[in-house]
């Protein structure tokens, strides 16, 4: 049966293949291989889905849910070829190669054929199909049947990188569960597979931990928030202004499970970030006994780096963090836990008797090696829970913990150093992967941002593969991600603005083969795709619309 269908497909496809593209297909990211065809597949409420393996049903349910929400109808699922009418046929190759994210999609006016090894491949194929659907249904016949006219193409697709990440800082500003789900929807649309969830920082602890209720009673709240830019990143300055409005919010463990499940349906793994040893003021405001000097502290109301951190000389600090991580590991099914590690000032450690004793007892050279001791001890614990740690590139400072992966944000040198040491790496250099930076120089249109300048074209041009690495070393680059820090992103509409359409450009960096990338072509597709963003109610930066 499969063979007959394949032969029929080849014949129709050859007949219908046109030398000239019929029209711009608004696919983002651009697939690995695509041949546009003259035909059209008209999906109606009579179109059937032929599904031979029930294991793939969740992805068909996802499609049906999308159709129902957006066009008011869904497709009947059957297990053999229909006697009449067009259909979607989902097949799996007899020989599995293990490339679970790949998919082939072959189309003619009668059939739309997916060949996928596994659920992820079908999910990405369905995302492609969704991007080919018209914005609005048309109606036909005396009964006014809904119709979706889909331009045909033959597509063979596969991702360039295994880690295709987007980050969101929910500490500096808190985003409601429904908004986090919308963000995950954007990731799914662009075939990202990692959501790096920054849940903890100086300005707010946002994850319920049952054993330590004060983390949310105290640490999820701050008494007010800095307005605009501070006079100095280092310490409060007399010109700083505050809004006087209490701010707070956190996700219950039930919320978190709900979001994890929502992401899992979309083939997105969540990497939670629990910051240590720095960026820990919200935790220390709640439990000051785990600092070097005992506090008291407040959840921070301004941005920057704190001199106060977890005490590395106190064994009870590690018991506290391990108990927290135990709950985090029970919640999050993914392999990686992000332990932060960035911007840890070592001032307190230099004067803390317990930290200095630890340095002496462990025969460490200095405070940088004390940081390595800290991260390695946490790594050992997380490895015992069958998890891997990932941390910002400062975890290289005193030497890497044995199994740590590195997220390179201070440029690419940390990533290069880690790859040369045979550690896995995610590239996320501030330039161009920080989406809290400006994307336009127009003072009139741009809302306040932290600084920097990462316009759409620079994101699009980014290549996560450093030239300094040999082919062998490059294998440690798992991929890349873009980060949305929220010091100056006060609401979800601004999250949308800062991430769109740069997220679309990043998607193409991570998915599309480098020789298939073309910025002009991307802008052409984006112009059409932006109508979908309009329909979704996304507040995006419209600078690209002026480009030819």
Q: Is 347 designated active site? A: no
Q: What is the dihedral of CA 202, 203, 208, 209, to 10 degrees?
A: 20
Q: Which of 40, 179, 224, 343 is the binder for ligand ACM (CB under 6 A)? A: 343
User: Residues interacting with Zn ion, by CB under 5 A?
Assistant: 292, 311, 313, 352, 354-355
452 is a contact residue toward ligand ACM (CB under 6 A): no
The contacts found for 357-363 with CB under 8 angstroms, 24 or more apart, are: 357/313, 358/312, 358/313
305 is a contact residue toward ligand ACM (CB under 6 A): no
174 is a contact residue toward ligand ACM (CB under 6 A): no
Q: Which does 516 bind (CB under 5 to 8 A by kind): Zn ion, ligand ACM, none?
A: none
392 is a contact residue toward ligand ACM (CB under 6 A): yes
Please, are residues 128 and 156 in contact by the beta-carbon 8 Å criterion? no
**Among 173, 196, 267, 279, the one annotated catalytic:** 279
Q: Is 167 designated active site? A: no
287 is a contact residue toward ligand ACM (CB under 6 A): no
Contacts of residue 77, defined as CB under 8 A and 6 or more positions apart, other chains included, come to 48, 49, 51, 57, 60, 64
User: Is 342 or 491 the residue whose CB approaches ligand ACM more closely?
Assistant: 342
CB of 408 to ligand ACM, least distance (A): 10
342 is a contact residue toward ligand ACM (CB under 6 A): yes
Q: Which of 250, 409, 438, 522 is the binder for ligand ACM (CB under 6 A)? A: 409
Report CA Rg, the chain.
Answer: 25
CB of 354 to Zn ion, least distance (A): 5
Q: What sign results for the dihedral spanned by CA atoms 76, 79, 84, 85?
A: positive
CA dist 186 and 191 (Å) reads 9
Q: Is 343 designated active site? A: yes
In the block, residue with structure tokens 């006697």: 83
User: Is 103 or 409 the residue whose CB approaches ligand ACM more closely?
Assistant: 409
Residue 505 CB coordination number (10 Å)? 29
CB of 105 to ligand ACM, least distance (A): 38
Closest by Cα among 338, 332, 1, 369 to 196 = 338
Q: Which does 186 bind (CB under 5 to 8 A by kind): Zn ion, ligand ACM, none?
A: none
Q: Which does 343 bind (CB under 5 to 8 A by kind): ligand ACM, Zn ion, none?
A: ligand ACM
Tokens standing for 413? 């040198």
User: Is 56 or 355 the residue whose CB approaches Zn ion more closely?
Assistant: 355
Tokens standing for 509? 């960096």
Q: Which does 409 bind (CB under 5 to 8 A by kind): Zn ion, ligand ACM, none?
A: ligand ACM
| 474-485 burial code (b ≥16 CB/10 A, e <16) | eebbbbbbbbbb
**Among 224, 343, 362, 446, the one annotated catalytic:** 343
Q: Apex CA 347: angle with CA 344 and CA 353, to 5°?
A: 115
Q: Which residues bind ligand ACM (CB under 6 A)?
A: 342-343, 392, 409
The catalytic residue positions are 201, 279, 343
């Amino acid at each position: 049966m499969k063979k007959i269908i394949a032969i029929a497909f080849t014949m129709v496809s050859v007949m219908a293949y046109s030398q000239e593209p019929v029209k711009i297909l608004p696919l983002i990211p651009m697939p690995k291989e695509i041949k546009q065809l003259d035909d059209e597949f008209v999906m109606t409420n009579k179109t059937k889905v032929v599904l031979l393996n029930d294991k793939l049903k969740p992805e068909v349910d996802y499609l049906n849910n999308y159709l129902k929400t957006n066009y008011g109808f869904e497709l009947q699922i059957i297990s053999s070829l229909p006697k009449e009418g067009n259909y979607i046929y989902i097949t799996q190759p007899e020989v599995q190669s293990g490339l679970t994210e790949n998919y082939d999609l072959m189309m003619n006016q009668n059939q739309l054929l997916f060949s996928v090894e596994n659920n992820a491949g079908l999910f990405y194929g369905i995302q492609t199909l969704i991007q080919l659907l018209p914005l609005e249904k048309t109606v036909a016949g005396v009964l006014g049947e809904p119709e979706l006219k889909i331009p045909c193409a033959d597509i063979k697709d596969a991702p360039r990188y295994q880690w295709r990440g987007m980050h969101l800082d929910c500490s500096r500003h808190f985003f409601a569960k429904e908004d986090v789900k919308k963000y995950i929807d954007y990731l799914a649309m662009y075939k990202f597979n990692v959501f790096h969830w920054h849940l903890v920082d100086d300005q707010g602890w946002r994850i319920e931990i049952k054993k330590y209720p004060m983390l949310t009673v105290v640490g999820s709240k701050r008494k007010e928030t800095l307005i605009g830019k501070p006079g100095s990143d280092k310490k409060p300055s007399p010109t700083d202004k505050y809004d006087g409005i209490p701010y707070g919010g956190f996700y219950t463990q039930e919320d978190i499970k709900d979001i994890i499940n929502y992401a899992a349906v979309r083939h997105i793994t969540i990497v939670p970030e629990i910051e240590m040893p720095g960026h820990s003021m919200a935790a220390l405001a709640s439990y000051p006994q785990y600092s070097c000097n005992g506090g008291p502290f407040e959840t921070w109301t301004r941005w920057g780096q704190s001199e106060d951190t977890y005490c590395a000389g106190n064994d009870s600090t590690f018991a506290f963090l391990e108990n927290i991580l135990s709950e985090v590991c029970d919640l999050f099914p993914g392999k990686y836990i992000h332990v932060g590690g960035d911007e840890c000032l070592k001032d307190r450690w230099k004067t803390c008797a317990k930290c200095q004793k630890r340095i002496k007892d462990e025969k460490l050279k200095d405070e940088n090696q004390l940081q390595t001791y800290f991260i390695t001890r946490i790594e050992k614990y997380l490895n015992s829970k069958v998890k891997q740690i990932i941390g910002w590139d400062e975890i290289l400072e005193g030497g890497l913990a044995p199994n740590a992966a590195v997220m390179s944000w201070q440029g690419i040198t940390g990533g290069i150093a880690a790859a040369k040491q045979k550690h896995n790496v995610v590239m996320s250099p501030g330039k161009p992967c920080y989406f809290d930076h400006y994307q336009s120089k127009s003072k009139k249109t741009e809302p306040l941002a932290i600084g920097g300048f990462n316009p759409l074209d620079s994101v699009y041009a980014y290549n996560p593969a450093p030239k300094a690495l040999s082919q062998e070393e490059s294998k440690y680059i798992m991929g890349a991600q873009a980060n949305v820090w929220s010091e100056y992103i006060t609401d979800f509409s601004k999250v949308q603005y800062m991430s769109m359409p740069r997220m679309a450009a990043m998607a193409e960096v991570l998915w599309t083969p480098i020789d298939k990338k073309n910025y002009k072509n991307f802008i052409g597709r984006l112009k059409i795709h932006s109508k979908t963003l309009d329909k979704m109610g996304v507040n995006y930066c419209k600078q690209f619309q002026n480009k030819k």
